Amino acid sequence: MHTQALAGSPRIEARKPFYRILYVQVLIGLVLGVLAGHLWPEFGAALKPLGDGFVKLVKMMIAPIVFCTIVGGINSISDSREVGRTLVKSMALFYLLTALALLAGLITVSLIQPGVGMHVSVSTLDPSVAAKFSKQAAATGFADFMLHIIPHSFFGAFADGEVLPVLLVAILIAFGLSRAGDDGVVVTRAITSFSHVLFVAFGFVMKLAPLGAFGAMAFTVGRYGIRSIGSLGLLILTFYIACSVFVVVVLGTLARLNGFSLWKTIRYFKEELLIVLGTSSSEPALPGALRKLEQLGCRKGVSGLVLPMGYSFNLDGSAIYLTLASIFIAQACDIHLSWGQIAAMLGLMLLTSKGAAGVTGSGFVALVATLSVMPDLPVIGVALLVGIDRFMSEARALTSMISNCVAAITVSLWENACDRKVLARELELSDTLKDAAGPKTSETKAARKDAPWISTTQSAA
């Protein structure tokens, strides 16, 4: 009865068995991981290598995929000034979303007040927790962050596997190829062919996603335990509420103003979001999200720039965490902050939320970096959060992932680089077409012809 997504659209003749659908397998892996970690904590904690191994496999593929996507995308743009416009509009949108995310965290924690009444004495907190992250936090200054974008060598960008250095190298090579004549055409074709191979290989890696999600979730529950939430459960609930409000109100409004549905977009990227939930990292979802943005009618040259940039400049989940955690520490330690102090803290967080990008545990590191230069808040207060940080990392990653997908579609629409007809049809037909075993319907194929920049990459994946 649900095989027709639009009136008059053709029926899907065949479907995969439900147990062969990736997001169903990931859901099963998550449930089994929670059970294994809860029933056999030591066994669950020992499964950490499964989750870590899957994330490392995906990170191995990210750098070349981002490079090929950006090089091919920029070469498809006839006007080089469009790249500059895309970068400027993306950064403007990222900073606006970050500011709104900071405010969302501030308003939510001020209303619910999860730390009020705890009366924690700073002298009773463990200073070693803050010291552990101090060295990482010291390297998160904005100037250091900008210098970190430049790799030590051409191949060093790929060896480190970080997105921004690869992004810089890709942009330089793309502009070089566009002015290299026939030699540039030959290299561009080679890169495009290599991109198809990479996406096929990535498809094989993604078959391990349920196993990775199982191992990561079993480790989280087994290592920290559901009981570790304890008295700080209200803080976790407050954070999840703040993230939900940001997604529904801010991102929902942004999507509505640009003529597409937030809920259908979330549903379209459900596989990627479940993987983010299971691994507490948004990196494994990057290649799949790039491919799906093309399927939605977004030009590769624009979406391929915006999404990787967002992974470093649009960490809205971490931004919410910064204000919420800072005010919570103030509430728990009975420290009163004036509105002037709070405003100064928000301005500082606009920088520290970017400076920690690419650092493992970036949300926690950015928090330490912020408190280190805030004389009114004790850095040692992060000891209150270390035991439950893992339970909030999933929401940080999910919020940032949803925000970056919405931002990529939005900027593509602003640049007239997204076919609205294809976007609407893909979002509407996602439930019936994503899980079909057979080929796409003729209607969908016809719709995709309206967006000539959509490559054949997605079919290979």
The span from the CA of 390 to the CA of 361, in Å, is 9
In three-state form (DSSP H/G/I as H, E/B as E, the rest C), the secondary structure along the chain is CCCCCCCCCCCCCCECCHHHCHHHHHHHHHHHHHHHHHHCHHHHHCCHHHHHHHHHHHHHHHHHHHHHHHHHHHHCCCCCHHHHHHHHHHHHHHHHHHHHHHHHHHHHHHHHCCCCCCCCCHHHCCHHHHHHHHHHHHCCCHHHHHHHCCCCCCCHHHHHCCHHHHHHHHHHHHHHHHCCCHHHHHHHHHHHHHHHHHHHHHHHHHCCHHHHHHHHHHHHHHHHCHHHHHHHHHHHHHHHHHHHHHHHHHHHHHHHHCCCCHHHHHHHCHHHHHHHHHHCCCHHHHHHHHHHHHHCCECHHHHHHHHHHHHHHCCHHHHHHHHHHHHHHHHHCCCCCCHHHHHHHHHHHHHHHHHCCCCCCHHHHHHHHHHHCCCCCCHHHHHHCCCCHHHHHHHHHHHHHHHHHHHHHHHHHHCCCECHHHHHHHHHHHHHHCCECCCCCHHHHHHHHCCCCCCCHHHHC
Rounded to 5 degrees, what are φ and ψ at 418? -140, 125
Instruction: List the beta bridge partners of residue 436.
Output: 15
The span from the CA of 268 to the CA of 4, in Å, is 16
Task: Identify the burial level of 350 via C-beta atoms within 10 angstroms of its C-beta, where 0-12 means exposed, 13-18 middle and 19 or more buried.
Answer: middle
From first to last of the 461 residues of the chain, give the pLDDT tens digit. 444 444 344 334 446 676 677 778 888 888 888 888 888 888 888 888 888 888 888 878 888 888 888 887 777 666 667 778 888 899 899 999 999 999 999 999 999 988 888 787 777 665 655 555 555 555 455 566 667 778 888 887 787 767 778 888 888 888 888 777 777 788 888 888 888 888 888 888 888 888 888 888 888 788 766 665 555 788 889 999 999 999 999 999 999 999 999 999 999 998 889 888 877 777 788 888 988 998 999 988 888 888 888 887 888 988 999 999 999 988 888 888 888 888 888 887 877 676 554 444 567 777 877 777 777 788 888 877 876 777 788 888 899 999 999 999 999 999 998 999 999 999 887 655 444 433 344 444 444 444 444 443 343 33
Cβ contacts of 216 within 8 Å, gap of 6 or more: 33, 48, 50, 51, 52, 54, 55, 278, 279, 280
0.75 exceeded by pTM: yes
Q: What is the dihedral of CA 384, 387, 388, 391, to 10 degrees?
A: 160
| pLDDT value, residue 102 | 93
Instruction: List the beta bridge partners of residue 298.
Output: 418
With beta carbons less than 8 A apart as the criterion, state whether 109 and 327 touch: yes
The span from the CA of 187 to the CA of 67, in Å, is 13
Q: Which domains are assigned to the chain?
A: 22-455 (1.10.3860.10)
| pLDDT value, residue 80 | 66
